[in-house]
Amino acid sequence: MEVIPNMLNLLLSIMYWRSRIKFKENPLATIYFHHVFEYKNRYHQDDITAAEFDRKIKFLKRHFNILALPEAIELLKTQCLPPKALVITFDDGYQDNYTVAAPILKNNDCPATFFISTSGIEKGYLWNDEVEQLLDNTSIKLISADIIGEKITISNKMEKVKALQLLLSKLKFLSHEKRTRQLKKLAHELGNIEFKRTMMTTAQVQKLHQKGFTIGAHTHNHTILTTETNNDCRQELLMNKNQLEAIINEEIKFFAFPNGLFERDFTSEHCNIAKNMKFKAAFSTNDGGATSLSNIYSIPRFMPYRKQLSLFALSIAKIAGEHV
């Protein structure tokens, strides 16, 4: 049962009032999405549909102060954030961000930031899309142990969904070079196909920017930085930043670490790389809110997977008041 709106507003106000007493300033909550699908997608159970997204955005607009990222960072630094400050972000640069999410955001007059991996624009897809499309298209029933050290049966849709999760979890912590080798093996086994575009085109990123949304960086190859040398990490960030700046003809000021868990997926050395590259702020995927005392190169972001809207709002308020 949904909490009635007045009661919810009261609960949120109390939670943010407590946070303000605790931190002596209002914390910033930053949430992130990946896909917004037109309809439910069996390979992406956690990603929401257009109808759910529209409902969530309308609801968040009513109960939070949704800010554009550049403004939120300025207010964060000067301890001037309003209560219930919220930033909405998207990772990777999927095409549905442009075709499905952006029109809903625009209709609701809601600012958002899109952190984009440029290899996706270039090739049309990311490595995880290759795995998904190979599995979806193949009539082969078994993946040999050569790829991830165990045999996986893929004789029906359900097994393919499970196999995708397993393959992604094993392949994502490999370096770009090692993963590319494993993907070739997988394509050889399952049958080479022509991959479909899943990511935004250059023109779509430009239009997103022209519509007033913020474009941010996310490495070129969506690389988990702890899997690469510092030199390769620098190249990943630099190539991504340069390409995005050439596309939108404006400085790219914000960066989100791929996968994003501090100490596992990136370290303070990588924060320094982002700082030296003149990014103004960088984002993790650790739970928590941010205040002026937070490390501006590791600002927490989270995604409360609550379907029920009042619980969704309350979990944002709760997490924003933690781990600051």
- By C-beta, is 258 or 288 nearer to Zn ion? 258
The amino acid at 123: K
Output 91 or 265, the one with its CB closest to Zn ion. Answer: 91
To Zn ion, the closest distance from the beta carbon of 222 in angstroms equals: 6
Residues 132-161 that bind Zn ion (CB under 5 A): none
Both tokens assigned to 268: 């303070």
Q: Which two tokens stand for residue 74?
A: 């300025």
Whichever of 93 and 288 has its CB closer to Zn ion, that residue is: 93
Query: Minimal distance in Å, beta carbon 219 to Zn ion?
Result: 8
Q: Please, which residue, 223 or 315, has the CB nearer to Zn ion?
A: 223
Q: Which of 8, 28, 33, 92 binds Zn ion (CB under 5 A)?
A: 92
Choose the binding region for Zn ion from 50-58, 60-68, 86-94, 192-200 (rule: CB under 5 A).
Answer: 86-94
Query: Does residue number 236 form part of the binding site for Zn ion (CB under 5 A)?
Result: no
Looking at residues 243 to 262 of the shown chain, list those that interact with Zn ion (rule: CB under 5 A). 258
Q: Residue 268 Cβ, how far from Zn ion at the closest point, in Å? A: 20
Nearer to Zn ion, 75 or 183 (CB): 183
Residue of closest CB approach to Zn ion: 91
Between residues 118 and 310, which has the closer beta carbon with respect to Zn ion?
A: 118
DSSP one-letter code for 259: S
Q: Which residues of 96-113 are buried (b: 16+ CB within 10 A; e: fewer)?
A: bbbebbbebbeeeebbbb
Of 68-76, 82-90, 92-100, 268-276, the segment contacting Zn ion by CB under 5 A is 92-100
At CB < 8 A and 24+ separation, what contacts does 208-212 make?
208/97, 208/98, 208/102, 208/114, 209/247, 209/248, 209/250, 211/102, 211/106, 212/111
Strand partners of residue 30? 87
Among 56, 75, 81, 91, binds Zn ion (CB under 5 A): 91
Residue 246, SS3 per DSSP: helix
- If we measure between CA atoms, which residue out of 321, 252, 221, 13 comes closest to residue 114? 252
Question: Min. distance of Cβ 258 from Zn ion in angstroms?
Answer: 5
# chain residues binding Zn ion, by CB under 5 A:
3
- Residue closer to Zn ion, measured from CB, 217 or 316: 217
CB of 276 to Zn ion, least distance (A): 22
Q: Closest distance between Zn ion and the C-beta of residue 84, in Å? A: 26
- If the CB atoms of residues 261 and 293 are measured against Zn ion, the closer one turns out to be 261
| Residues 117 and 93: beta-carbon distance below 8 Å | yes
Q: Which range, of 19-27, 41-49, 87-95, 309-317, touches Zn ion by CB under 5 A?
A: 87-95
Residue 305, number of CB atoms within 10 A of its CB: 10
* Exposure letters 117-147 (e unless 16+ CB within 10 A, then b): bbbbbebbbbbbbbbbbbbbebeeeebeeeb
CA 62 to mean position of chain CA atoms: 23
Three-state DSSP at 260 gives: coil
Contact positions vs Zn ion (CB under 5 A): 91-92, 258
